[in-house]
Amino acid sequence: MRLLNHHALITGGGTGIGAAIAAALAAEGASLTLVGRRSDRLEATADSLRSTGAYVATAAADVTLRTQVDRAFAAAREAHGPVTILVNNAGAVQVAPFARLSEESWRGALAVNLDALFFCCQAALEDVKAAQNGRIVTIASTAGLKGYAYTAPYVAAKHGAVGLMRALATEFAATGLTANAVCPGFTATDIVEEAVANIAGKTGRSPDQARAELTRFNPQGRLVTPEEVAAAVLWLCLPTSGSINGQTIAVAGGEVM
């Protein structure tokens, strides 16, 4: 129980990578607050974790809105006290040629993939600075380390997410707070299944052929699992990882960046 007495707030905590991270941190004794837009998904994940004895609260919120972020953090503190671990996991991607991007699509991508980090990191800052072994871990993407076609706003935002973690790591190094980014490759989540459906719909390929188009980036020839990403996050949150700061950890099977 290496995270006993820690309180982890996880955005996008109801499904996919977020749910896997919640399970990994709960197994080490952390109390949890799961934040996301869909209350039903949050509660389903929370109930599953509660059945194992974990202490789990939920807070429905749109993390692109500062007022809702502040309200979610207030609810989290009321449930479990100060937030000592923040995991920025919420994100979304849209696929479109750059020349056809609208300003609305651009702004929307930056709102959920970058603005939300600003809001959540500021909301958590005083708590994680004051904590012994305070942690901020952001789920970025290999798109934060390289470029991919047809996802320019997502790539730009994820590069910004990596840069923000490096800036916070430097600014607050003397406090004991660490800030790091985990950069998964294509992972078996709803976002990837939506991408598979989009590729299949636009190209006439079968879902298996469309999925192969994504797995080809991974030299291991497969999708990353949410649990593999969660394992990297857990390691960064442990007290013994205090010297790991301002880093980007690719969970991508050896994909060349």
Residues 134 and 159 placed together within one structural domain of the fold = yes
pTM for the model? 0.95
Residue 17 lies in a domain: yes
Q: Could you say which of 55, 148, 150, 154 is catalytic?
A: 154
pLDDT at 205: 86
Inter-residue contact 34 to 14 (CB < 8 Å): yes
Q: Is 154 a catalytic residue?
A: yes
Residue 1 lies in a domain: no
Q: How far apart are CA 138 and CA 11, in angstroms?
A: 10
Question: pLDDT tens digits for 209-224?
Answer: 888 888 999 999 999 9
Q: How many domains does the chain have?
A: 2
Residue 256 lies in a domain: no
Residues 119 and 241 placed together within one structural domain of the fold = yes
Residue 120 lies in a domain: yes
What confidence category does residue 95 fall into, taking pLDDT thresholds of 50, 70 and 90? confident
pLDDT at 192 over 90: no
Residues 123 and 211 placed together within one structural domain of the fold = no
Domain containing residue 191: 187-223
Residue 257 lies in a domain: no
Residues 134 and 212 placed together within one structural domain of the fold = no
Residues 137 and 217 placed together within one structural domain of the fold = no
Residues 196 and 246 placed together within one structural domain of the fold = no
Residues 31 and 53 placed together within one structural domain of the fold = yes
Residues 119 and 243 placed together within one structural domain of the fold = yes
Residue 197 lies in a domain: yes
Segment holding 157, helix H or strand E: helix 152-171
Residues 48 and 71 placed together within one structural domain of the fold = yes
Question: pLDDT tens digits for 154-189?
Answer: 999 999 999 999 999 999 999 999 999 999 999 998
Domain containing residue 113: CATH number = 3.40.50.720
Question: pLDDT tens digits for 17-74?
Answer: 999 999 999 999 999 999 999 999 999 999 999 999 999 999 999 999 999 999 999 9
Question: pLDDT tens digits for 124-160?
Answer: 999 999 999 999 999 999 999 999 999 999 999 999 9
pLDDT at 196 over 90: no
Residue in 80, 87, 75 with CA at minimum distance from that of residue 17 = 87
Residues 30 and 44 placed together within one structural domain of the fold = yes
Residues 75 and 86 placed together within one structural domain of the fold = yes
Residue 151 lies in a domain: yes
pLDDT at 219: 95
Residues 161 and 131 placed together within one structural domain of the fold = yes
Residue 255 lies in a domain: no
